[in-house]
Chains A and B, each alone.
Chain A
């Protein structure tokens, strides 16, 4: 059922509107569980589009298995998505810095508050991000240590490749996930793939995880998908590799592969002179889980991240 989460008037013949798809179980169920799937806070991150589709499709295929409520929010920042922009082109802000908002504030605050209010009452929320257009990521759950106790059991069920505790950018207080967790709604941030793209195998992997969680919550009586246990890592077990010079980055390893300490994982080239400016070497062995794809780099740009401890 298509429901309007909020609607505000814009000046010239349009409104700022966000919908959700509420899927109800066929059978009458006493106090059914509820899961919310949120996607598109950052408009350049589209991996969640396929996940939303595939969750809805699998339920449609077997509505008789559904024993709870599934709320799907495919595009909570619709203008950003249609403009392929991370930020909201109307407010020029990062929507994920505006939570929990305020029901009596300005439009930015109301939009944030309306979304939070509409998710309240869920047993679990999944906030699905993708990487940006600069680096590619393996499917991972990012969570803050503050809420690890309540989130870790769910995170292990997501079928992600990795759980990254305390990944700094995602633990900001003004994010949707932080606000919901603080309000007692367990919320997992899922990150995968790359900006402006959809990688179907990653989507299928996480959708399996979502049905795995729904089985666990008693919301799905269909066959339980076969899933894996993600590797768990903390900031200390992640090696960040950055360039020290500006140039063109060309990788020499594949994403989502193991690298050995001392291995050259890429190089920085100068298109003018034909010179190699820098060789990028991994200091530690591990899984190369983040890899740069946008080739133009400046000193400090992230080229790769290696998960070292967990293996």
Chain B
């Protein structure tokens, strides 16, 4: 393993923020794994650090193919983590809204610009990210639909689901969107957890990455074949909104197979404890996404369901 400094942001009064890449193997720049852009993505940081550890062991065993190089960037937003903030700097900017960046632009664009140029040299980019919502989801690989996406490659992770997303204007500044071209493939992996560390979820995520790298001929690693991924289009997920606000008491969990008419959650009055709303499944299906904090707003997304799919 080699550690390289990809970008250094000089602050007047804080330790300089050096984004590090950990490089395994030599030769063709094949796969780059990118860690969290937001300072609340603790699980994503944990996964990437454990992946660096695992790849170090595997490199010693000689399983990385000749002329293939893998780079892991475990974190690009150290400052936010250390302040328990989501975003970057005094302007509270979301790093994942500043790609492809600009080396003569504002501070954040200089950083994303330089990182983008280096990540772009790798044929495959795998990013660990999460929803902005206060929620958990079933593990899945995301690809942006732009005409050059190759969904069958996303299946090689062997995660339960692949979600294809039609881009909206705000997607056009993300790392994934800007890397998805004829020459590059970009995947974003969403794992179940974000704020809480979850070992099972971490191991599944690492297996997914190693499976992909093995299937692409980047390494030889005997791993379980995983799932044959079910491919979904994001617009086909059925949103279930809270009709009332209050204390949110979920009854079902992500991944659960729910029958039509089943009770999914209760929303309670925060002062007198009475039930304001019972959320009932309006379709059979699997819970893909579930709100996971104790309070909920009116019309906040409580669940997203994979319509008429069963375990």
Contacts and interface: CB of A to CB of B under 8 A. Distances in A.
B245 A302 contact: no
Contacts of B245: 8-11
A106 B86 contact: no
Contacts of B170: 97, 174
B299 to A, nearest CB: 4
B148 interface: no
Interface stretch (A148-156, A253-261, A293-301): A293-301
Given A172-B169, A173-B169, A300-B106, A8 B298 contact: yes
Interface stretch (A45-53, A64-72, A85-93, A208-216): A85-93
Interface stretch (B9-17, B25-33, B190-198): B9-17
B60 interface: no
A302 B109 CA distance: 12
B265 to A, nearest CB: 13
B109 to A, nearest CB: 7
Interface string B208-221: 00000000000000
Interface residues of B, number: 35
Q: Binding site of A, secondary structure by majority: helix, strand, loop or mixed?
A: loop
A10 B106 contact: no
A13 interface: yes
A285 to B, nearest CB: 22
Contacts of A16: 297
A250 interface: no
Most buried by B among A10, A13, A16, A87: A10
A12 interface: yes
Nearest to A8: B298
Interface string A106-117: 110010000000
Contacts of B168: 174
Interface in B86-118: 86, 89-92, 104-110
B53 to A, nearest CB: 32
Contact of B297 (A11, A13, A298): A11
Most buried by A among B91, B132, B245: B245
Contact of B298 (A9, A12, A173): A9
Interface string B166-199: 0011100000000000000000000000000000
A296 B110 contact: no
B297 A107 contact: yes
A86 B299 contact: no
Nearest to B113: A300
B271 A10 contact: no
A242 B168 CA distance: 31
Contacts of A147: none
Contacts of A172: 169
Contact of A10 (B89, B104, B241, B298): B298
Contacts of A134: 91
A302 B132 CA distance: 29
A298 B9 contact: yes
B297 A302 contact: no
A77 B86 CA distance: 20
B62 interface: no
B298 A299 contact: no
B261 interface: no
Contacts of B86: 92
Contacts of A90: 297
A246 interface: yes
Given A106-B241, A134-B91, A173-B169, A12 B107 contact: no
A133 B244 CA distance: 37
B23 interface: no
Contact of B107 (A9, A93, A105, A301): A301
Nearest to A243: B107
Interface in B36-69: none
Interface in A185-213: none
Given A97-B170, A246-B12, A300-B105, A11 B247 contact: yes
A10 B297 contact: yes
Contacts of B83: none
Given A9-B244, A174-B170, A298 B12 contact: yes
28 contacts: A8-B245, A8-B299, A10-B245, A10-B297, A11-B245, A11-B295, A11-B297, A12-B270, A87-B92, A92-B132, A105-B239, A106-B299, A107-B297, A107-B300, A132-B91, A134-B91, A173-B169, A174-B170, A246-B10, A246-B12, A248-B12, A296-B90, A298-B11, A298-B89, A299-B10, A300-B109, A301-B107, A302-B106
Given A90-B297, A106-B299, 5 more contacts: A12-B295, A134-B91, A242-B106, A245-B10, A300-B107
Nearest 3 CB-CB pairings of A with B: A11-B295, A300-B107, A173-B169
